[in-house]
Amino acid sequence: MIKTRFTEMFGVQHPIVQGGMQWVGRAELASAVSNAGALGILTGLTQPTPEDLRKEIKRCRDMTDKPFGVNLTILPTLVPRPYGEYIDAIVDSGVKIVETAGNNPKPFLPKLKEAGVKVIHKCTSVRHGISAEKAGVDAISMDGFECAGHPGEDDVPNLVLLPAAANVIKIPMLASGGFADARGLVAALALGCEGINMGTRFMATKEAPIHQNVKEKIVASDERSTALILRTMRNTSRVYGNSIALKAIEMEGEGKTIQEIGPIVAGAKGKIVYETGDLEHGIWSAGTCMGLINDIPTCKELVERIVTEAEAMIRGRLSKAIAA
């Protein structure tokens, strides 16, 4: 067992969190991750309305009696979303862990704290981590440039970002972006973190509620298979480098606006990729850690493998590296 400030504070067995992935973070996956002793996360905005989120939370609770959280990502969307009502749905449903991302969580903290919810804020820079800590969040999930989804605009990978953040952030910190195996977990602990957050790795599991083609494509791809879109709008997103992503980058190069690019990068089209397995139908998020993913295990097999191998590495190769 690897015990950290994170496992203690959040009441989970293993220092592993499942990333809050749009269209993927549904009850099937979140409950499987939580049942494996890690922390599963439902993605709030995957549910079309706050009422649907209430139902999804109930569905997840029917599948696990372990703690799970809900992600709320506050970024520009093509169709405005009522964030406050999603927060109400989370609080009313009695969920005690929330992952905020994409923007300053401060406006939502009073309501969450009053309800006894522990907040993990996901951010991509040291300065944003410091301000979230000052605002009163309980933990930080620090997301390096390697990550899928939104890596921010500073392009600092985790080998520097995590220890730089650990130098100044006092609350427990999770390492996010590029983590997929035991070596990553051990490295994260060494870099000053209390656990890891994995998104893409959990997409390639038996329980992830996405088409088998997507899982197999992740396994077949490598660390160079992603593309960065929406850079020109300062809303960079790392996605699978398919023809749609390349088209979006081309349109950006031509100076096209989000209104013009929106129809091809819309999440609604990415959702169809996950449902039908047509990998060129829209954009879908994937991280550089595809280069480390070679199989499609169950969540339990994956979590147990990572923890067992990490323990063996710490007791074995690392401790033996110290000269007598």
Residues that bind ligand NAD (CB under 6 A): 21-22, 45, 73, 75-78, 102, 148-150, 230, 233, 235, 237, 258, 265-268, 270, 285
Q: How far is the CB of 222 from ligand NAD (least distance, A)?
A: 20
Residue (9 or 266) nearer to ligand NAD, CB:
266
**Cα 36 to the center of its chain, rounded Å:** 17
* 239 DSSP β-pair partners: 227, 285
What lies within 8 Å, CB to CB, of 250 at 6+ separation is: none
Residue (77 or 308) nearer to ligand NAD, CB:
77
Residue (76 or 82) nearer to ligand NAD, CB:
76
CB 270 within 8 A of CB 22: yes
State the burial class of residue 250 (Cβ atoms within 10 Å of its Cβ: 0-12, 13-18, 19+): exposed
Q: How far is the CB of 309 from ligand NAD (least distance, A)?
A: 26
CB 198 within 8 A of CB 179: yes
Residue (34 or 197) nearer to ligand NAD, CB:
197
* CA gap 229, 139 in Å, rounded: 29
Range list of H helices, the chain:
5-10, 27-35, 50-63, 83-92, 109-114, 126-135, 158-166, 182-190, 200-203, 212-220, 243-253, 258-265, 267-276, 299-313, 319-320
Residue (13 or 104) nearer to ligand NAD, CB:
104
CB 120 within 8 A of CB 98: yes
Residue (121 or 150) nearer to ligand NAD, CB:
150
Give first-to-last CA distance, the chain, whole Å: 26
Residue (35 or 47) nearer to ligand NAD, CB:
47
Q: How far is the CB of 179 from ligand NAD (least distance, A)?
A: 14
Number of Cβ atoms within 10 Å of the Cβ of 152:
19
Q: How far is the CB of 25 from ligand NAD (least distance, A)?
A: 9
Q: How far is the CB of 155 from ligand NAD (least distance, A)?
A: 16
Number of Cβ atoms within 10 Å of the Cβ of 148:
26
Q: How far is the CB of 95 from ligand NAD (least distance, A)?
A: 18
* CA gap 33, 237 in Å, rounded: 25
Residue entry with tokens 């890690």: 38
Q: How far is the CB of 321 from ligand NAD (least distance, A)?
A: 36
Q: How far is the CB of 141 from ligand NAD (least distance, A)?
A: 11
Residue (135 or 264) nearer to ligand NAD, CB:
264
